[in-house]
Amino acid sequence: MYDVLYDASYRTTGDSVQRLKPTRDIQPVSEFRANAAKFIDQVRETKQPVIITQHGRGAAVLVDIDSYQDLTDSLALLRDLLDSSEASRRGELVLHEDVMQEMRALLRR
């Protein structure tokens, strides 16, 4: 049996993931051009992306910097986990103690 662990940010109530509000969160590029500062304030306050359309199709997404950083950090972690999983399948893992011995030897130089 496995234990399932969640970090402190996991919530089932309160300010969990908000739904996309098309009238607020999907905007044509002309509206964005005319009101860029307003949309930047909006993504900072709501933490929700704004989808910018051009010719009726999605063209870009505006997100606040903290959400972007969280997204890129999560993606990097997932890539590391995938690399580790693949290395494990290939039998290329190194024991922690072996790494520690190598590090100690390097520090003594």
Give pTM, 2 decimals. Answer: 0.62
Q: Is 98 exposed, middle or buried (0-12, 13-18, 19+ CB in 10 A)?
A: exposed
Q: Which residues pair with 58 in a beta bridge?
A: 53
CATH no. for residue 41?
3.40.1620.10
Identify whether 94 is part of a domain.
no
Give the structural domain span for 33.
Answer: 22-88
Identify whether 49 is part of a domain.
yes
Sign of CA dihedral 34, 38, 44, 47: negative
Per-residue model confidence (pLDDT) at position 60: 95
Identify whether 54 is part of a domain.
yes
Per-residue model confidence (pLDDT) at position 12: 46
CA separation for the pair 25, 54 (Å, rounded): 14
CA separation for the pair 84, 19 (Å, rounded): 34
Per-residue model confidence (pLDDT) at position 17: 55
Identify whether 37 is part of a domain.
yes
Identify whether 56 is part of a domain.
yes
Identify whether 83 is part of a domain.
yes
Q: How far apart are the first and last CA of the chain?
A: 45
Per-residue model confidence (pLDDT) at position 109: 84
Give me the number of domains the chain comprises: 1
Residue ranges for the chain with pLDDT beneath 50:
1-13, 15
Per-residue model confidence (pLDDT) at position 59: 94
Per-residue model confidence (pLDDT) at position 22: 75
Identify whether 5 is part of a domain.
no
Please report, rounded to a whole number, the percentage of residues in the chain having pLDDT higher than 90. 63
Strand, helix or coil for residue 58: strand
pLDDT digits over 53-64, tens only? 999 999 999 999
Chain-centre distance for alpha carbon 106: 35
Identify whether 31 is part of a domain.
yes
